[in-house]
């Protein structure tokens, strides 16, 4: 299976959920698919709560390897996963598209963040399982 499928995790701001998904995608499923994240707008920094908790939970420093990107900044992808921004969700051409319907934890406490991170981890593992079988 020469080229690994490219997966883009997208939401409007590319600073929190999609960044976590990119980091966990690389961390947990880098052998099966390539992970990218992007948004229709960018933030100067990745959400600091997300950065702190990802360090704490997985020892991943997102600021070292990731930054907020626009849709035009990533290569063409096979799979687009929107984080749950409904109508405003950015459109990218792809072979497969799904929405993970995640609430944005920005501004909420660590518990909310951890819930979202844990849900993203589960969904990344499910996606990995599905792509492995293809």
Encode pLDDT of 61-117 as tens digits.
Answer: 999 999 999 999 999 999 999 998 665 666 788 999 999 999 999 999 999 999 999
Question: Taking CA 35 as the corner, what is the angle to CA 109 and CA 82, rounded to the nearest 5 degrees?
Answer: 60
120, 24 Cβ separation under 8 angstroms? yes
Instruction: Determine the topology of domain 19-129 in CATH.
Output: Rossmann fold (3.40.50)
Enumerate the domain spans of the chain.
19-129
What integer best gives the mean pLDDT of the chain?
Answer: 92
Which residues are CB-neighbours of 23 under 8 A, at least 6 positions away?
A: 35, 54, 58, 60, 62, 65, 66
Residue 1, pLDDT score: 43
């Amino acid at each position: 299976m020469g080229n690994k499928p490219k997966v883009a995790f997208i939401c409007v701001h590319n600073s929190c959920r999609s960044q976590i998904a990119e980091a966990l995608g690389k961390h947990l499923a880098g052998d099966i698919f390539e992970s990218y994240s992007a948004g229709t707008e960018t933030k100067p920094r990745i959400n600091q709560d997300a950065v702190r908790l990802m360090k704490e939970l997985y020892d991943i420093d997102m600021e070292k390897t990731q930054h907020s990107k626009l849709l035009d900044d990533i290569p063409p992808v096979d799979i687009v996963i929107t984080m749950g921004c409904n109508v405003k969700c950015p459109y990218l051409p792809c072979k497969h598209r799904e929405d993970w319907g995640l609430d944005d934890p920005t501004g909420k406490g660590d518990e909310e963040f951890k819930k979202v991170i844990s849900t993203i981890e589960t969904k990344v593992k499910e996606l990995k399982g599905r792509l492995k079988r293809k």
